[in-house]
Amino acid sequence: MTTAVELKLLAAAVIIGVVQLLWAAAASRRQQSLQWAAGPRDDARPVTGGAARLNRSFANFMETFPLFAAAVVAAYLAAKLGPLTLWGSALYVASRALHPIAYVINVPYLRSLIWFAGFGGLLAVTAAIFL
C-alpha cells in the first residue's frame, strides 16, 4: 500500500514548521542571548527586524497548520482525495515554505500574496470533503 501524496505533503508541512521554529529561535537568540533563554525569562526581551518577522511567520504557520492537518486527515478518512486535495495540499505546502522567506526579505505585498495562495490551498482541501 502506498502513502497518499496528500499525507506526504502533510509530513512536508510538519518539516517546514520545524524548520521555521528553529530558524525563528536561532534568530531570536542572536538578539536575546543564550543566557537569557536558559533562565526563567522573567524580563521580556522583544526581538526586532528579521527575527521578529520570523517569529510572526511561525505564529502564522501555527494558526493555519492545524486547520490544514485536520482537512487533509478528514479528506483521507472520507475517501475524498483527488485532484482538488492534491493541488490544494501542494499549494498550501509551497506557500508555507515561501512565507517566512518573503517575510524576512520584506517585499511589499509578496508575503500577503503567498499567504492568500496557501489559504486558498487550505480551502481547496476543505472543499473537497463536501464534493
In tens, the pLDDT along 67-113 reads 999 999 999 999 999 999 999 999 999 999 999 999 999 988 999 99
Q: Give the span between the Cα atoms of 129 and 131, in whole angstroms.
A: 6
- Are 19 and 89 a contacting pair, CB within 8 Å? no
Total number of domains in the chain: 1
Q: What percent of the chain lies above the pLDDT cut of 90?
A: 81
pTM of the model: 0.91
- Are 24 and 58 a contacting pair, CB within 8 Å? yes
How many CB atoms are located within 10 Å of the residue 53 CB? 20
CATH number, position 115: 1.20.120.550
Domain that holds residue 123: 5-130
pLDDT at 57 over 80: yes
Q: Give the span between the Cα atoms of 31 and 42, in whole angstroms.
A: 16
pLDDT at 115 over 80: yes
